[in-house]
Structure 1
Amino acid sequence: MKVTIYIPTKDRKDILAKAVDSVLNQTYQDIEVIVVSDGSTDETENYLKQKSAIDNRLKFFIKTKSEGAPAARNLAIKHASGEFITGLDDDDEFLPNRIELFIDYWTFLKEHRITPSCLYTPDLIYRNGEQIAISKKLGHVGHEQIFEFNHIGNQMFAPKSVFIEAGLFDEQMPAWQDMEFFYRVLKLFGKASLLDIPTQIMDDTPRTDRISIKAKNRLKGAYSRFVLQHCQNSPRDAQLLYLQMFSRYYGIRPDLSDWVKFIRLGFWPKGILALFVATLRF
């Protein structure tokens, strides 16, 4: 069973090379890697040409105009020849047995007549080259739980048909593209299952290109689009989603307008307490 791994990238040739090597060096060899260069102006194209000449499992697309990571992912997914698909960010890395473990666990579940919508794993969190934590995740995740937190993370493993039938990534989402896509997958195909072995190194080193992703205006735009599409008739789900903007990860402090908007959605003591804690935290 072939597995396609997609990697969107832009102007990060050196760290991209580490990501690509971590995939090509998997113990499970029936793979293809599709890198989409999203308007890169560095030496990314030359690197990909040279690397793919050495290993024909590496394929790539060069986009002269940047259209964002969701569009890059979608391009790779549409051209994937693998029966299964997963992704990798260009600043992260796979441990050598990640794909093999995914295939083995999927096969094991299938033999026991269990078909999850997708698989996901804990992550090894690194900062400045050193491991600082291992993420803890739920054993199973349903779509309702996505409102409270993105319990899956930034990557999932599933048949290509799941990606296609769920509608691919929303290219208009200014943030939370992974989380919104996972929500649609879980709602359409059922709960996701955890492979409880950390096999991905996730880089959390502070960088200037992460500031815009955590910008409040982008998060508010993503929140509004998420609510419009998925929870217009559920104020409590909208409140849960709203609270995600003020997690420690984003470092954003609620202001008066946030309080007004939150309370207008309904009186929820537990949620008000959470918003109060976030207000005092920073």
Structure 2
Amino acid sequence: MAKRRVILPQECWELIFNRVDGLEAISLVCKEFLSISNSVRHSLRVYNLTVLCRLLKRFPHLKKIDLSVFDGDIDLAILEIARSGLNLEALNVSNQKILPVESLRVLGSYMKSLKTLECGNLDLLRDSDLQAISDSFPWLEELDISSPSASEQLVTDDGIEVLASKLRALSKINVSWNTNLSDRSILALSSNSISWSIWIPFKQGGDSSHILFRAVTLWLTIGFLLCAASWLGHGQELVLWECRIQTTFIIALGLDSISDLALQPWVQGHCWHEL
């Protein structure tokens, strides 16, 4: 009796391939597997422009492209992505000398689906760059502008306030190692969203239940407390690393001293009292 061959529909293969690592090996099995693996590939890290142009045609359903290790003209790469017709949701342009402002403007005019932009570890990042980001991608939900290298012309509270006023959907921002920021930035961002995460300026990562501060230049004032109270009231966690705490902050919490602050179950980290 001849064995009957079972042919799975493409939808079933896609469900299987989505759970498998190493799609490159699977794509070599047959032309059908090559086509299916191309359709389920959603993220891509690109190293040079020649490869990018070819891969944009090969993978029509990409959602995330990582250009953080790109070697070449970053503007040309972004323009190719803009013209690709992809519904991209996340783009990483970290580790560049400057923010590729003009090409990002073109990308924003073509691609309204982008929700996450990573541009950390730039040699230079300024308030004008934040203005360009907010104008180009007003629908952004997550933004990483951490660890700029330049010691001058850093991002300031003015830039963050402009960003917060225009990015109404922003829910997460990483501003680690932007040492010119104060609680003015916290207040501006807190008025923008119900649930969000801010990281200043040491660690990266985390989730919306943690608010982390690490900066000897950061002063936690009574204005910031108005924001913190809402998080703490919903069981959130306040993480203070090496922060100078003013007397008004301690009094407003109903505590007698900074040692009482350290004993609170919702506070982690090390801080000291600034008279």
For the criterion TM > 0.5, the same-fold answer is no
In terms of fraction of residues, the more helix-rich structure is 1
Structure number, greater radius of gyration = 2
